[in-house]
Structure formats: C-alpha cells, structure tokens
Structure 1
Amino acid sequence: MDNPTAQATLPLSGIRVLELTFGHLEGCGRFLADLGAEVLLVEPKGGLPSRTRPPLKDGVSLHFASHNANKLSVELDLDDPADLERLAALLDGADLFLDSTPTGWLERSGLAARLRPQLVTLSLTDFGRSGPYAPFAGSNAVLLAMGGVLARSGIKGSSPLLPPGELAYETAAMQAAWVGLSALWNVSNGGAGGYFDFSVHEATLQILDPGMGVTGSAAGGRSALELAPRGRPPLGNGYPIFACRDGAVRICLLNPRQWQGMSAWLGDDHPFTDPAFASLSRRFKVIREINALIAELFRERGVAELVAEGQRRGVPIAAVSRPQEVLRDEHFRARDSFVDLPLGNGAVGRVPFGFVEIDGQQAGVRNAAPELGADNGVQWSAATSPTMSQPMRRPFVGIRVLDLGVIVAGAELGRLLADQGAEVIKVESGAYPDGLRQSLDNRPMSISFAQGSRGKRSLGLNLRDPRGVELFKHLVAQSDVVLSNFKPGTLESLGIDYEVLVRIKPDIIMADSSALGNHGPLSRSMGYGPLVRASTGLTWLWRYPELDEGYSDSTTIFPDHFAARVSAAAIAAALLRRQRTGRGGRVSLCQAESILATLASDFLEESVAPGSFVPRGNRDRFDAPGNLFPCAGDDEWCVVSVNGDAQWRALCEVLERDDWLGDPRLVSSAGRLAHAAELEAGVAEWTRSRSPVEVRNLLQGHGVPAGDMLRLDQLAADPQLQARGFFRTLHQPGLDAPLLTENAPALGPLPEPRIRPAPFLGQHTLEIAAELLGVDAANCAELVREGVLEPASSEIEALLADAASRTLEPEAQP
C-alpha cells in the first residue's frame, strides 16, 4: 500500500515518534503517522492488550487495525535490562515520546535520566499525573460523565444518554497531537522540549462541548452554561428531524434567507408568511406550529427528493443517514472517504481514510497495522538536538495568521494559535458579520465571540471591493498562515483562493475547513454541524435504542471544536515542513470526515459485519456491569465501567456481593454480559442510596472505573480542575462580568496562554493599515469613507476608552 515518494512529501517526513502507550490514545500516534512521521510502537512481550481488544474479525482486533495503521512495531521485554537499554537507545533517536507508563516507572527503569531536554515527552493519561483524581481509572463513559458532556446528552424527562463511539478518547487523541506538534515546533525554534502532562479528562472538557467555550450561532451569543444550566433539552425543536417516506431528514433554518426559502416551500397560504417571521427569535416562539407544517409537507416524500429540493431552494437540509448508507454514500465514495484496510488472512475491511488532506492528497492509511515485532531490527541514530536559545517561549511567536474563519470551527482554530503566541488578525466586515457576533440583546460583544476570538486583532476590510482584495494580498505577502472555513468556492469568487495566494507568497500555508470538503458532488452544499452529524450517521446513532425518534444530539456542536484541533495540529506539521524544505502548502479538512474518523473501528466492523453499527444506549458492549446508574438526589447519576476480571472482583468486594463472586455464570465477561440486566439491577440498588461522589470514591478506591455526572455549574468548584489550574479569567470590555475561560491544553514547560480580550469589529483597522499596509492618513481616510476599510464605530471607541480608564487587569498584560 505504501508510496515512499508520497510519504516523503508529507509534512512530518523525517520526524521520529516513539510510542509506549500500552494501547492508550493510539489515535494520536496514528495521526502523526498519517502526516508522515515514523511512529515506532513499543510492545511488551506478547503484544499490546489492544491486539485482542474486541470487536474481532477472525481473531483480528478491529480497534488495533484501525488505530495502528502506518505504524511500525518493536517487541521488547520491559523487565530485561538489555531490552531497556535498547529502548533507551531508541529514545536517544526520537523527536517525540508518547508515554502512558505507570507513574514512577520511567524513574525506576532508569529511562527518565535518558530523556534529553530537547526531547518532547508527552504523557497521556486519563486524569493527568497530578491532582486528587490522578490515581483514578478512566473509561470513555467515566470521562464523558466527569467532563460535563453526559449531563447535556439525551432528552428531557429521560435518563442521560452516552454519545456513540468513544468520543472522549478519539477527540483527546487529536488534542494530544496538537500539543505534541506545537512543542516540536517550539523546539525547532529554540524553545525547550521537556515533559508535558496531558489529561484526557481536561481534553474532554475543552473539545466536545466545552462549558466555557464557543457556542453555535443559534445560541445568540449565550454561553453553554446559560443554554443548559442543569438538565437535558426537550425533544428536537432547535434542529428538527422529520420523518419521510423512506427515512428522515434534518433542516437548519437560521438566517432570514433560509426561512424565506422554507416559507416559499410551504406555500403562500400558511399562517407564517409575515416577513416578521424572518427573525429567528420571533419564529422560535411558534416553532412547534411551524415544525408541524413542515412535517406534513415532508411526510410522503423521499429523502433524495427532499434533499435535492432543499438545496435548490436554499434550505439547509441533510439525510439522517444510517452507517450502512454512509458507507455507500455517493459523496463519500467520490471523495474516497473510505479506503480498503487489509485485516490478514485475505480479509479486507473499509475504514475512514483519516482526517486531513495535504496539498490535495489524503494524509491517511498507507499501510496496515504492523505484525507484532515486525520492525525489531530498526535502529535510530542519535537525534541532533537544536540549540535552546529561548527556552521559555510560546511556540508560535513570530507567526502571523490571517483569520477569515467564522462561527465555531473558524473561531476556535485562530484562537488556538493566538493562545500559543501567534499574531492572529481576524479579517471581517460589518456587511457580512461573523455569526458569533450576533446576540439576543444586540450588544457589540457576545460571550461566545469573546471566548472564540480572545487574543486576536480585528481588521475591518471589504473583500467585495477590488481595493480591499489588493490590501488583503498585501497582507498575505507578510503573513505565514491563512485560515478559512467558508463554503467551497467563496474564496475563488473573491479572487483570493490558494492558487492566487501561493503566487503572492510561495511558502504561504492555507488551512481551509468545510462541512463536506472542498470537492465531491455535495461539497458546495450549505453545511452546519447538525447536518454534518446527520449525514455521517452520528445523529441516527446518538439516540435511545428503544425510541425510533429519540435523537439526542440537538445541543452538541461537535465536531467544530474538534475539527479546529485537527487543523491546528496539521498547520503545526506544515510549518515544520516549511522550515525543513521552504515549501508551504494547503491543509484541507472535511468536517464530515473528521466525524467518520472518530468512529473508525465501528465503521470497519460495519463493513465486515453489516448491521453491527447501531444505537447502543448506555450499556457497555464488552463487559458487565457497565452502564449509567441512578444515585440519591434529583436526577443524579453515576457511571460504572467494569473491564476485566480484576475489576469485577473489586466491584464485588465493594458491594459485598460474595454471591456474585461465587457464581460460575459470572466468572467471564461473556457470562457477565449474558446476565447484564441482573447485575445492573443489583448495582442500581446499591447506588440509589448514595451520592454520585460517594459511589465514585468508593469504587475508584478499589480500582473500578466510576464517575459522577457533573453539570456545567459544578465544574468551577471541581478539585481536580482547580488543582491543575484548568481555568483562567478573561476580562472582556463590553460584557458585564469576567468570564471563566480555559487555560492551556496540557501542563508543561511552556508559558501559559496570554488571556487577552477579543476585539470589537474593526478595533485594529487603523493601526494595521498604518503598520502593515503602509496606508498614509489621507489614503486611509478616503478608504474609510468609501467603505473599503472599516474602523471601529464611535460607540466602540467610547466603550474601549472607558475600559482603558479603569484598572488594567493582570490577565490582559503581556
């Protein structure tokens, strides 16, 4: 499968990664390998536990096959001094070390002394190496419960619902890659390497549906805490799903043009033809009545007909696809979103190719997962260590980014780079404002915009005017990265697509992101997160198995925050290649494919066992008891995730169930699964009289993965988050109170992010025009009069002056 020539052009070609993770966050190393790194998987004698992790196909773990493609394998006896010395020699040649070894093992083995200062060591654990939860045993369910995700998933009046797949681990793996590549870029520019303490728990809080992060445009600028302070939402009014003749479709009606298209589709005699209903807030007051009319219109029509008609009328719409339909979807087939993956013994499955395209080519599966010890003969020469000239620097200092991004995915990507030192200039216009600037009270600053654009500068520039385009090109010549998540074709229509920009600055890096990718039959469709989730099968899977219409993804904004991390990591990789070769490039992300990649193992199983990928609810699939359990109090819950015989025995000890321990039916995971309902009833009887925290502490004290379901209003007081400095304070002019905001993506030897306010529209226009564009005062005044340059309004200037007259907050200082 491998193409050496293609691999040599990948951005991480020449980077060596040593992975000693025992099957933990294997997706991180897989992504680095996709990008061209040589990733060497260190396996203990007999192989990693993940080689036998279910589901299996003819004895092959589908998880291992999908998460270890493109890697190499070396088998070492980690109790043998000779093999430990071999491992130390490999560390001497590595650029990045992925480490999930038990706490203290590196010191006891003597390997800690071999971690040179320029080596980036990325520790990957469920709760980090410090804080009161550091000893806790995790699981996907535990992390979603304690990460504030579970409390908001499901339907009002029903129990909470775990999302499908293993989204906590799969998304955290990409944030880990972002941390590792940022650190590698830092080392290559004179910074220190060192030890980075990465927590999946914290990544879950930052990526899936962050309580302190950016919310979608439909939120009207409100925070997640305002939208879902405690419970779960009512059944689907926000992004409604409608049954039709052969399935279901979802629509998103947000702006006035979209409502006009839907209104015309309903005909000219319905009760909501008044132009006032173009207002989202006005429409939402009668949303049930409107949805009833749409349901009647759609009921007897087919999915394909509705999608085509919606696209023709400008109504954002998508099929609610099932996994088997996704695998044969024409758009995904045209994009080669799925590729063949050999499974051994002649068997072949279909798996999502990966996450990103680099220079128009997929950076994904090239080789099948390695046989155990297939690369035992590999030797790495000692790495050349760059000089540390600025040990404590933010990685992207000196990098200038032009940010054309909008809404969540666009905002987050620029913010991630700004946090780590880049100069990020948000290029925007009052005629086409970023949806995050909209708020229900019409203030010039919203909470959501502040969270997503903190630390940026704002350039008001009219790109519909040729003079504005020329000014933008002048900025490109002085910049390193351009970000965009417009609908494909938009940049071409403005005359600033990649082919134009690369002629202006040959080493420019462009990162574009779109809902369905920049090519394929549906690439230019209107894309929103709810539609992307529907088209990838996630919506159909994210429902109660016993309820045909129990769709439960209406409050999530996945994959926006996640897609931003994938793009950020790929940008860091592209910068490393540019430094090595002088070549820029294009990073392209299809948000739909980012979802598919998080469900790789499940889609692989569906391809070899059709009908296996279905909604599964809260019950663990591979051992029991593993489920959601009621606790003392009002709507209080915990999760328990038994995995293996040792944890089973520990659970029985805590619950004082000697009868279970002595029951021959329950000695294996298969036997426990066969009697899961009986076991769950017994656990529920025990948990009902205890608080979620009491259940968690009792079980975790005996090594059983268990977690309390945390709500957003409980996070600020969480002792683990406090101990690890998870939160910072953002003092934002234009808002009534300071905001809690997230800190760094991992603990490590880097300065904390500079927490600076988000800009008002055009706040920095005049200074950028003078400093970077060389526009003199007379020309600047003319360009302002003619609407080419858009400075901040007098109202904003007064607000900023008032803010400046008060005490400068410590967080706002350099």
Structure 2
Amino acid sequence: MMEVLSHMRVIEIGSSAAASYCARLFADFGADVQKVEPPVGDGLRRSAPLTPGGQSAWFAFLNFNKSSIIIDASDPDAIIRLTNLIEDCDVLVDGRDVDSAECPSIDVAVIRKRRPELIHLEVSWFGQEGPYAGFAATDSTVRALAGLTKLVGPLKGPPLHAPDFQTGIVAGLWGFIAAASSTLARQRGGAGRSWSLNTFESSLVLTEYLMCEAFVRGDVMQRLGINRFWPSFPVGIYNTKQGWLGVTLQTPAQWLAFCDMLGLSELSNDLTLLSGEDRLQHMDQIDLHFAPQLKTRTAQEWFAEGLKRKIPIVPLPEIADLLEDSEKKARGAIVPIFMSNEQGLTAGSMQRLTLTPPRRGGRVPALGEQQVRSNTRRHQSNSGAQSSGSIDADRQPLHGMRVIDFSMGWAGPLCTRTLADLGADVIKIEAIQYPDWFRGVDRRPDYVDAEMYEKRVRFSILNRNKRGITLDLKRPKGLALAKRLIAGADVVVDNYSVDVLSKLGLGYDELRTINPRLVMMSMSAFGANSVNRDCRAYGSTLEQASGLPGVIGNPDGPPVMSHTAFGDPIGGLNGCAAVLVALLHVHSTGQGQFIDLAQIECMMPFVAPWMTVQSIGGTPPIRYGNRHPQFVPHGCFRCAGEDSWIVVAATDSEMWHRLALLIGRSDWAKDDSLKSNEARRAIESAIEMEIAGWTLSRDADTAMSELQSSKVAAGVARLPIDLLKDPHLRSRAYLQEVERAFIGLHPQPSMPIREGGRPQSIRTAAPTLGQHNKEILSELIGLSESEIAELAREGIIGTKMLSERELAESNNVSSDCKIEPTL
C-alpha cells in the first residue's frame, strides 16, 4: 500500500526534541526523513533514560523510521552538501536555534529564493524576539514559565513536575500542523511557506483555558495538594484495595451516582455538595468518607461498577500494564522498535487513519545509517502544483476548505479551531436543545433567561473564527439539512459518545455515499472498537489512564497528575494533525476516509521512553520527584515571598561551572571531579541546599534574571493569571484583544506558529448560539427566508437555549438518542 507521504522528503537539522518529533510524524506516514547529525551524533542520543544497552529511549522514540546523514562542519564541502540536501527536499525542519548540533552555517532565506516551494519550519525555545529570547532552557523550565508547574503537588513545599518529555511532543505536534497544512496548500497551487515555532508559546495550549478563567475570575487558583485541582472536586487519584483509581466527577448526576456506588447517602443527601466548586470547599471532609470505602474493593472492580453507572473513573495502569495491553498493540498505539542490537516497545503514531494507517514501529538509525525505503520518492520540483509564489501568497493554508464541526467541550473544538485559524471555513453545529456544554450545563430559568450560556470566555477562546448554526439532529428536517451541509464539506469532526452520529443516520458509512471525498474523524476517549468504548471520560481521565501519573512524583508518594485536563488539548492537536494527513491523501487520490482517534492513545507518547526501557530491561521506572535522570542539579527552589518558586537545571558541565560560581561555590567550580553528572549526583542534596539558600534571598524574577545572565537554565514557576501580564508574551502580542457580544473585550491566545513576526490574526469572535443560521442556510443550501422562518417556528433552528421544561417538551417530538460528547 502506498503510504500517504511517501512522495515527500524531509530534512531535519539541529538538535531539538520538537523538531525531531515533528519530522518523525512525517516518517510515520512514509516520508523519507533524513536527519543531519555531526560526527559525534545528535546530543539527544545521550539523553536519559537509557536502555540496558546504553541507548537513549527518548532519542529512539523521536527518531525511528528516519535515516541519518553525517555532515562534519569542518569539511570543506560541508555547506555545499547540506545546501544540496535542502534544495532537494520538500520540508526543512530546523532545530538549530535550540541546539545547532555543529550544523554547517547556511542561509535558508537564500535557498528559498531559489526554491520558493520549500517549506521551512524553524524551532526555538522562545522565539527570536522578546525578553526571554536567548534564554537557556529545558523542558521543565519552560513548563514552569508556562504556568504548568506551580499548581501541581503538595500544599506545602515545592511544586512537583514531570520528567522532560512534554514540551517537545506538544511543540512537535504544532510544527507538524504548520508543515502539513503548508504541504496541502502547496499541492493546491500555493508556494512554500516559512514558519517559526515557539516552544514556550506551544506549551500554553495546555494553560490557555486556566489563563482565560483567571481573566474572568481573578486570582483564585492556588496549589491545593497532590491530585487536587481548581475548579472542581474530586479530580484526582485514590488508593483502593488493589491499585490506584482515577476519579473525575463533574456533573451532579455523576456525583450522586458515585456516592450511591460507595453507599455514602450522607454525602448524596447534602444538597450543598452538588456542585464541583462547592465540593472544593470540603475536600478533606469528603476524602475522609471516600478513602475507607474505596479500599474495600479493587480498582478494576470499581471500574466495572463505574461503567454500569456511567461514572468517569478508570484504573491507573503501571508501565508493565501498558506493555501487556493487547488492545493498544493491536491498534498500533504500542509498537516494536529496533535499536542496534536491542528490541523494545514504544508509543506509535496516534493519528489512526483507517484507510492509510501509519507505520507500526520501525528502526532507529545508527549514526550515518540510511533506512531502506519500500516506496520510490516522486520528486516534486517539476510538479504543476509548484508556483512562483503568486498563487495564494496572502491566503492562509486551508483557505477554501470546509469543516462541519459537531464537537463540544475542549478537545474537538481545539482541533477545529486550529483548522479555522489556518483558514478553513468551520461551521459549528449545535442545537438549542443541546448546545456545547462549554457554554454551561445549567438549565434553570434564571440561567437561560439571562443568556448566561453566551458569557463563557472558555467557549469563546475555543470557537473563534467559526460560524455557528443550530440544528435539531433528532428530527428529519434537521438531519436532512446537516446532510446537505456535509455533502459539500471536506471534513466532519465529532467527539460525541461512540455511535451517537451513527444512530442519527450520520455515520461514516452513510455519509461517504453522499460525499466520497469526505474525511470524518471520531474523537472518542478509548476508540470506536475498544472494550472500554462506553467509558465516560474527561481530559483528566485520559491522563489517569495513560500511565503518566505513575512516573511523576516522589519515590515514596502516590502517582501524581500533572494537569487538570491534560488529555483534552493533546487530543485536539493530534486530531488536527490526523485530519491534515487525511486531506493530503484526498488531494492525491480523491478518496476520503474515517479517522478513529482514541484520545487515551494520544497521551502515550509522554511515557514512551519509560515504556522502552522497561520493555527491554524489565525494570520499572524510577520516580525522581523534582530531580532528573540526567541533569544534576535539577529542581524547584523557594524564592523570597509567599509561595514563590523557580525551576533551575544544569544541563552540562559548562552550565554547572557557571552555576557554581554564581551561587558562591568557586571550590565546586574548580573541582574537575564534579564535571560529570554522576559525580554531582553523589552530593546532590548538598548542591540543592546551596541553591536553595541562594534563591531564598531573591525574588523569583530577580533570581531568574541573574541565572539567565550566567546562561543557566531557569524559569519562574508562574500561575496562569501571571501569564496575562507576562512581559515576553506582551512583547510578542501573543494575547489578542477580541470583542464579542455578551462578553466584551477579552484576551485570546494566538497560535504558536507564525509566518513573519506577528501572530496569525483572529478574524472573528466565537459565534453566539445560532448566529449564522440564516447566512448558512441561505448561502450554502439555498433556503428562502420563509423556509428559514418555518424551521425556527418548528424549533429545528433557533438562537435561544431551551430551559429544562422546554427541553422536556421538545423531547416529546424527538427520538431518544441523547447527544453528548465523550469529553
């Protein structure tokens, strides 16, 4: 079977986890990816954790199915060799700003003048401009600055943060979205594009929801303790008779069902505990009831009970459990990986295209090794799709594409928002009976009459640049109109519970008969054919079920969640990437296809290195707390002021030397025996005490400024509210002010991928309920004003959410198929 991207060649230069992951996603679908390395190899080849054979499991995950080319910058023909490689490729993924990896100096702008069809992606930590530009950084210092550390961990003492396998994956996904959308635009007659990718801003996709909540509610978010998160309770992890159980209770119905399952009538009868925010005020008392009851049964037994009651609870797997998961292996979420004389397992591609699936595992190239290709590259330099750059030069990559958006909440709307930000015409379909639950689920008359469902900033940030229509899909006329819209669309996205659209007559098997070119993606929690397909899930549930909490935290402590809803934005980005690959296939062949995206699988890359190490050596991962498997020192240190912290790391012997001098330990700086991480590990506690004494005498920003002046990686542990006034984000115009009815001016986060110095501008605010009913029904379907008015009288379209009483009356004339998202 011809792989979707087998006609493409990608060149990767520099050393950056984000660049490597972006390029690997191309390799997953058959692209010829050539990784340029110096004679000593990419520094990531030496990144911990290491396999029993001494190979980097992190490098392996980022680079299987690529080839390696050695170019020695000291060779006289190095620049010519590299230039020739780039001029013969389709996409250049450039990580030199993170680490040059001794790459020969080249001017990409000059090369692009000769080859305007070249797509160039440049990766950096913070961008080329702004107060943080040039900062020394690690994954953990970036996450601290991005507001992803301070809210995690115990109530007292330092926040806890995860191993360094997050920002590279998130930024790599953004990079692939930029490059793949540009590839699609080029195939449709456009020129190549040049993008800059900012890893810091990429990470803010995980924080943007809390940033905007802080804009509305003020400074209400503080660290609440391990596995406790604002704004709801419980969202955490509990011990059982055997195993750990992830619990997320959001709605009153879920809370009551959980209390009933545990036999806690005293809690279910307390009407002051129906709301998650109200329960947040009584966490300790509630846990006193939960803890002994949950220990009476195993996590698996509670999970089985939760399935019956539609409660979002899930057992926490250990890495060993993941490695034995036959379903994930069968789906390609866990794949074999070959490294020299070792064979193990790692996370596969999560873009689960059913017609043109990604590769299932592969070989990690030895330094200088060329992989044998089964497909012949079709060079595109003479393709009619290439242009001088005049066609679509000022248009966004997805201009002219149409997306029908049935999604709700966070994950699906983020996927479709990204498509809209890139220029697609996204039509969001809601119903006055069942609007997007991110508008709020309160149906009491006061809430509905005051139109509170129009005043949620969280809905606004996830649905900008879209048009909105309401259709009652449970009635024949509404269903028929939806089909007419889909007949002229390129993409359909939904994150309803499994089978909802099929039961309505909108399943892929039916829709492809009216639109063979249609790409349809289902974004369920566990996958359409999973044994757990009916499990209710939120973004927190996905993190709990991914195995990630088991590698975070202190060795003697419980598993630790790292975000409130980590799985939602990760699912959204993976969904967008999958859609773009499918659209590339449509353009080449005219064939649409179904995408079965399981959001739980999208979380698995974050534990991939630990999976590989354990699959080969059989040893469970070590939990390091705030320390690190490679960098010494590495930790979160108290600064002057209340609950003020900074993350500091020394990534090599030179950085350690500068740090030792800065904190006044010139004796350590002069001690050659401390040049190695292993030697410093022996006195790690003493080093940490010295750093802690130094930081405690300074406020966090002053400490960061002094450390960065010495080129030591450091990042203040910010709260989400701090990001609204972050000097670097302000200097880069990351937050854009948008005016919207019912809300007024409010901040909107920009995409972290940019063409030129400014962010992509936001074209329109999120639609009010049914705002574009007339526009869409008249322009796209050709209905008359009288026909549209009749639909409104019948309640098939509308602009006002129904109250509980009105909904009950409406349901009397509709089917019993409840429309609700998985997440």
| TM-score, normalised by the number of residues in structure 2 | 0.88
| 1:808 aligned partner | none
Q: How does 1:201-216 map to 2 (within 5 A)?
A: 201-205=200-204, 207-210=205-208
Equivalent of 2:463, from 453, 458, 469? 453
Equivalent of 2:365, from 358, 370, 389? 370
| 1:252 aligned partner | 248
Distance 1:499 1:783 in 2: 28
Equivalent of 1:397, from 389, 394, 399? 399
Q: Which amino acid aligns with 2:145?
A: M
What is the Cα deviation at residue 400 of structure 1?
A: 1.1
Per-residue CA shift, 1:245-284, capped at 9, x if unaligned?
A: 1122122222344344334424595453478865556666
Aligned CA distance change for structure 1 residues 650 and 133 (closer, same or farther; 3 Å): same
Equivalent of 1:298, from 276, 291, 294? 294
| 1:18 aligned partner | 11
Equivalent of 2:748, from 741, 744, 747? 741
Per-residue CA shift, 1:162-181, capped at 9, x if unaligned?
A: 13442122211111111222
| 1:670 aligned partner | 678
Q: Which amino acid aligns with 1:327?
A: L
Distance 1:147 1:510 in 2: 33
- 1:665·1:671 contact (CA, 8 Å) conserved in 2? yes
What is the Cα deviation at residue 792 of structure 1?
A: 4.4
Q: Which amino acid aligns with 1:421?
A: G
Q: Does 1:326 align with 2:305?
A: no
Aligned CA distance change for structure 1 residues 657 and 271 (closer, same or farther; 3 Å): closer
| 2:308 aligned partner | 312
Q: How does 1:415-564 map to 2 (within 5 A)?
A: 415-438=417-440, 442=447, 443-445=452-454, 446-548=456-558, 551-553=560-562, 556-564=564-572
What is the Cα deviation at residue 208 of structure 1?
A: 2.1
Q: Does 1:633 align with 2:644?
A: no
Aligned CA distance change for structure 1 residues 641 and 286 (closer, same or farther; 3 Å): closer
Distance 2:92 2:66 in 1: 14
Equivalent of 1:406, from 405, 408, 411? 408
Q: Does 1:715 align with 2:717?
A: no
Question: Structure 1: which 5+ runs fail to align?
Answer: 215-221, 796-814
Give the stretch that moved more between structures: 43-52 or 667-676: 43-52
Give the SS at the match of 2:92.
strand
Identity of aligned residues (%): 29
Give the SS at the match of 2:534.
coil
Give the SS at the match of 2:485.
helix
Distance 2:123 2:597 in 1: 25
| 2:89 aligned partner | 94
- 1:516·1:522 contact (CA, 8 Å) conserved in 2? yes
Distance 2:126 2:525 in 1: 32
Distance 1:282 1:143 in 2: 33
Per-residue CA shift, 1:470-497, capped at 9, x if unaligned?
A: 2111111111110111222222211211
Aligned CA distance change for structure 1 residues 286 and 483 (closer, same or farther; 3 Å): same
What is the Cα deviation at residue 194 of structure 1?
A: 4.0
What is the Cα deviation at residue 427 of structure 1?
A: 0.7
Equivalent of 1:592, from 583, 587, 600? 600
What is the Cα deviation at residue 787 of structure 1?
A: 2.7
Distance 1:358 1:187 in 2: 22
- 1:208·1:559 contact (CA, 8 Å) conserved in 2? no
> RMSD of aligned C-alpha atoms?
2.9
Give the SS at the match of 1:349.
strand
What is the Cα deviation at residue 531 of structure 1?
A: 1.6
| 2:22 aligned partner | 28
Question: Structure 2: which 5+ runs fail to align?
Answer: 804-823
Give the stretch that moved more between structures: 185-194 or 769-778: 185-194
What is the Cα deviation at residue 460 of structure 1?
A: 0.8
| 1:175 aligned partner | 174
Q: Which amino acid aligns with 2:668?
A: W
Aligned CA distance change for structure 1 residues 35 and 229 (closer, same or farther; 3 Å): farther
| TM-score, normalised by the number of residues in structure 1 | 0.89
Aligned CA distance change for structure 1 residues 231 and 316 (closer, same or farther; 3 Å): closer
Q: Which amino acid aligns with 1:127?
A: F
Give the SS at the match of 2:345.
strand
What is the Cα deviation at residue 328 of structure 1?
A: 2.1
| 1:151 aligned partner | 150
Aligned CA distance change for structure 1 residues 43 and 477 (closer, same or farther; 3 Å): same
Q: Does 1:772 align with 2:780?
A: yes
Aligned CA distance change for structure 1 residues 616 and 268 (closer, same or farther; 3 Å): closer
Per-residue CA shift, 1:538-582, capped at 9, x if unaligned?
A: 23334344433x7344x5211211221222122222222222222
What is the Cα deviation at residue 586 of structure 1?
A: 2.5
Per-residue CA shift, 1:37-92, capped at 9, x if unaligned?
A: 22111112232222232332213222222111111121112232423212211211
| 1:217 aligned partner | none
Give the SS at the match of 1:356.
coil
- 2:215·2:724 contact (CA, 8 Å) conserved in 1? no
| 1:386 aligned partner | 387
Aligned CA distance change for structure 1 residues 545 and 37 (closer, same or farther; 3 Å): same
Distance 2:770 2:81 in 1: 57
| 1:76 aligned partner | 71
What is the Cα deviation at residue 743 of structure 1?
A: 1.9
Aligned CA distance change for structure 1 residues 713 and 474 (closer, same or farther; 3 Å): same
Distance 1:133 1:649 in 2: 22
Distance 2:647 2:363 in 1: 35
Count of aligned residue pairs for this structure pair: 776
Per-residue CA shift, 1:575-634, capped at 9, x if unaligned?
A: 222222222223332111111123211211122233432432111221311111111222
Q: Which amino acid aligns with 1:188?
A: Q
Per-residue CA shift, 1:169-221, capped at 9, x if unaligned?
A: 2211111111222222333344443432211111112x22225667xxxxxxx
Aligned CA distance change for structure 1 residues 386 and 571 (closer, same or farther; 3 Å): farther
Distance 2:196 2:716 in 1: 23
Q: Does 1:788 align with 2:796?
A: yes
Give the SS at the match of 1:42.
strand
Q: Which amino acid aligns with 1:418?
A: A
Equivalent of 1:696, from 700, 704, 725? 704
Distance 1:551 1:61 in 2: 25
- 2:184·2:583 contact (CA, 8 Å) conserved in 1? yes
Distance 2:248 2:387 in 1: 51
Distance 2:570 2:622 in 1: 23
- 2:7·2:378 contact (CA, 8 Å) conserved in 1? no
| 2:806 aligned partner | none
Aligned CA distance change for structure 1 residues 669 and 353 (closer, same or farther; 3 Å): same
Q: How does 1:346-365 map to 2 (within 5 A)?
A: 347-359=342-354, 362-365=357-360
- 1:156·1:233 contact (CA, 8 Å) conserved in 2? yes
Distance 2:360 2:797 in 1: 46
Q: Which amino acid aligns with 1:233?
A: L
Q: How does 1:77-226 map to 2 (within 5 A)?
A: 77-102=72-97, 109=106, 112-115=109-112, 116-205=115-204, 207-210=205-208, 222-223=213-214, 226=217
What is the Cα deviation at residue 677 of structure 1?
A: 0.8
Q: Which amino acid aligns with 2:728?
A: Q
Equivalent of 2:36, from 42, 46, 52? 42
Q: Which amino acid aligns with 2:745?
A: P
Runs of 4+ in 1 over 6 A off after TM superposition: 103-107, 274-277, 376-380
- 1:33·1:71 contact (CA, 8 Å) conserved in 2? yes
Per-residue CA shift, 1:335-387, capped at 9, x if unaligned?
A: 34312212222x21111122211126642444211122223999996723334
- 1:436·1:449 contact (CA, 8 Å) conserved in 2? yes
Distance 1:601 1:629 in 2: 27
Distance 1:299 1:171 in 2: 36
